């Protein structure tokens, strides 16, 4: 689907939260690297897609009503064969029905399990006074625990992206702390600018979260993505 088709579909259904698959399609269209996710509406489809993309894979529930999938058992990682995928599919549906019985389940997304890297977050929220404000920090659960993030107002220039990365206290982690693989800092600067440009061109977006983004010594890729649109009412 094109960017406009995704936005039109959400407006038609009067929903602000895009699914992970829709969010990633928007970002991919803007040249932002994401781990592609395919929709499986049945267990058989999930197993078939897994075999096509190659193991290990990750399964996640796809629902316009669920924001934090892992909190309710809606995510299964490191699945190594068809039997594990089939079992995980059933377990995800059972967990969602137990915790959020009224949630509409579109299906389950299947994506390749990629090599872990330094986890970072790139996000955006709209400030009533300043408009879109971008955020950068260490990602995964660290962002919630440490709250070590930097902010800049959109649109960003190269110097802003450079400063955002270096302003966080966890910057030494990105440089390769204690022998860990360092992140490709110039690549991350370019990625932040790409996201800024995407936000500028898509005023319909109210909130954006790429978390985690796995940063490597030779690039980076967004593993999960969440997009919330301005109220569809």
pLDDT in tens, 152-210: 999 999 999 999 999 999 999 999 988 889 999 999 999 999 999 999 999 999 999 99
Q: Using CA atoms, how far apart are residues 152 and 141, in angstroms rounded to an integer?
A: 22
pLDDT given for residue 233 in this prediction: 47
Cβ atoms of residues 177 and 153 within 8 Å: no
Percent pLDDT > 70 in the chain is 97
Q: Is the pTM of this model over 0.75?
A: yes
The pLDDT, as a whole number, for residue 136 is: 97
Residue 177 lies in a domain: yes
- Given 79, 112, 145, the domain boundary residue is 112
Is the per-residue pLDDT at 143 higher than 70? no
Whether 24 is covered by a domain: the verdict is no
Host domain of residue 187: 118-229
Q: Is residue 198 in some structural domain? A: yes
Higher pLDDT, 142 or 87: 87
Is the same domain home to 223 and 148?
yes
Q: What DSSP character marks residue 41?
A: S
Looking up residue 41, the CATH number of its domain turns out to be 3.30.1490.20
What is the spatial distance between Cα 135 and Cα 119, in angstroms, rounded to a whole number? Answer: 14
CATH code where residue 164 lies: 3.30.470.20
d(CA 39, CA 109): 5
Structure tokens at 96: 């969602």
pLDDT (0 to 100) of residue 148: 87
Residue 104 main-chain phi, psi, to 5 deg: -80, 120
Give me the number of domains the chain comprises: 2
Cα separation, 123 vs 132, in Å, equals 10
4: how many CB neighbours lie within 10 A of its CB? 9
């Amino acid at each position: 689907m094109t960017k406009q088709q995704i936005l039109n579909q959400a407006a038609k259904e009067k929903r602000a939260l895009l699914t992970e698959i829709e969010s990633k399609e928007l970002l991919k269209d803007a040249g932002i690297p994401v781990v592609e996710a395919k929709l499986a509406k049945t267990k058989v489809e999930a197993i078939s897609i897994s075999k096509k993309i190659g193991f290990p894979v990750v399964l996640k529930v796809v629902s316009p009503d669920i924001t934090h999938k892992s909190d309710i058992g809606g995510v299964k990682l490191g699945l190594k064969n068809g039997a594990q995928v089939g079992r995980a599919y059933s377990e995800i549906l059972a967990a969602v029905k137990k915790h959020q019985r009224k949630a509409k389940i579109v299906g389950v997304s299947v994506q390749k399990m990629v090599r872990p890297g330094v986890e970072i977050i790139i996000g955006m929220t709209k400030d009533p006074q300043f408009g879109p404000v971008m955020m950068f920090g260490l990602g995964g659960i660290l962002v919630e625990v440490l709250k070590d993030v930097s902010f800049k107002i959109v649109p960003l220039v190269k110097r802003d992206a450079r400063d955002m990365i270096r302003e966080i206290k966890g910057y030494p982690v990105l440089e390769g702390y204690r022998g860990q693989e360092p992140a490709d800092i110039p690549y991350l600067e370019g990625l932040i600018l790409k996201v800024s440009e995407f936000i500028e061109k898509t005023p319909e977006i109210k909130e954006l979260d790429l978390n985690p983004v796995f940063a490597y010594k030779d690039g980076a890729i967004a593993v999960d993505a969440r997009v919330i649109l301005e109220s569809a009412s």
